[in-house]
Amino acid sequence: MRLYRTCLVFAGALVLIALAAPLLAPHDPNGVDLGAAVSGPSAVHPFGADGSGRDTLSRLLIGSRTALLGPIGVVVFSTVAGAAVGVAAGWRGGWLDTVLSRGSELLLAFPALLVAMLFVALYGPGLLTPVVALSLAYLPYVSRLARGLTVSEKRRPYLDSYRVQGFSGLAICVRHLVPNIAPTVLAQSTVNFGYALLDLAALSYLGLGLPPLTPDWGAMINDGQDAMMQGHFLPAVIPCVAIVLTVVAFNVVGGAWADRISRRAA
């Protein structure tokens, strides 16, 4: 419980930091201070500077924006699209269910990182391409869950009673079914946030994510590796620590929510 609260506070603080990053950052994240290149922590550069003399703290703060924005995009896209596919398959059944379920199964055979790399190979790097690719890769996990929940919910009498009153299938789904399955689906999506952050950071580390000048944690690690080979560890290790702490915090919070919801449902 103490771990959960710590993580919740950390995650909340991170969101605030990301929102206020331009105000908090002491330097221009791309500003070059050659005299400070690969310097350790100092009053001017609290976390030191990287091989090109860019302030690590400023890059870390500004980088937190893309680090959170990307996974939010993936989670929103994959949840909305996945829920739509899953509910449609579970509600209509028949051939639509077969086609959609088979399609999801097929997508599951493509690891998320591979889908993202294929998309980047085709459409070039950027923020949007990896986010769309990962949303597609995560879609089957959401749709499978939503389909299962819809099928079991459909058997409940309250939905029949709406049908008898003459509501259309679409209206029943949107107004009554979706709100009832939403908590479980959203809990799964919270957990997906952590995975998406890891995958996006990995792509950005490989240089397949954001454009080179954008400060991003994954790219910072890649930049920092050169300085590391010369024995200066901070520029690479600090973003590593940021990624680990962020993912752990969001995983713990998401896991706790998922637990709470499944206990309430049981």
Smaller CB distance to another protein: residue 150 or 204?
Answer: 204
**The pair of three-digit structure tokens given for residue 183, joined into one six-digit string:** 């908590």
SS3 55: strand
How many residues does the structure list for the chain?
Answer: 266
**Residues 188-217 vs another protein: string with x where CB under 8 A?**
------x---x--xx--xxxx---------
Nearer to another protein, 50 or 172 (CB): 50
Binding string, residues 96-125; x marks residues near another protein by CB under 8 A: ---------xx--xxx-xx--xx-xxxx--
C-beta closer to another protein: residue 70 or 194: 194
Structure tokens at 27: 């330097």
CA atoms of 76 and 114, how far apart (whole Å):
21
Residue number, 27 or 199, with CB nearest to another protein: 199
Q: Looking at 90-98, 161-169, 224-232, 258-266, which segment touches another protein (CB under 8 A)?
A: 224-232
- Looking at residue 37, what DSSP letter applies? T
Distance (Å, whole) CA 230 – CA 220:
16
Binding-site size for another protein (CB under 8 A) equals: 40
Is residue 29 within 8 Å of 264, Cβ to Cβ? no
Cβ neighbours of residue 72 closer than 8 Å, sequence gap 6 or more: 193
Closer CB to another protein, residue 9 or residue 170?
9
Radius of gyration of the chain (CA): 22
- Distance of closest approach, residue 162 Cβ to another protein, in angstroms: 28
Question: In terms of C-beta distances under 8 Å and separation of at least 24 residues, what long-range contacts does 252-256 make, across chains too?
Answer: 252/3, 252/4, 252/7, 253/4, 253/7, 253/8, 253/11, 253/190, 254/187, 254/190, 254/191, 254/193, 254/194, 255/191, 256/4
Alpha-carbon distances of 25 from 50, 122, 199, 243, 263, rounded to whole Å: 15, 35, 26, 18, 42
| For another protein, the closer CB: 178 or 253 | 253
How far out from the chain centre does Cα 69 lie? 8
Is 151 a binder of another protein (CB under 8 A)? no
In the complex with another protein, the residue whose CB is nearer, 142 or 252, is 252
Q: Which of 94, 166, 179, 231 binds another protein (CB under 8 A)?
A: 231
Minimum gap (Å) between residue 18 Cβ and another protein: 18
Q: For another protein, which residue of 42, 152, 225, 262 counts as binding (CB under 8 A)?
A: 225
With binding defined as CB under 8 A, does residue 167 bind another protein?
A: no
In the complex with another protein, the residue whose CB is nearer, 181 or 243, is 243
* Sites of contact with another protein (CB under 8 A): 3, 105-106, 109-111, 113-114, 117-118, 120-123, 194, 198, 201-202, 205-208, 221, 224-225, 228-229, 231, 233, 236-237, 240, 243-248, 251-252
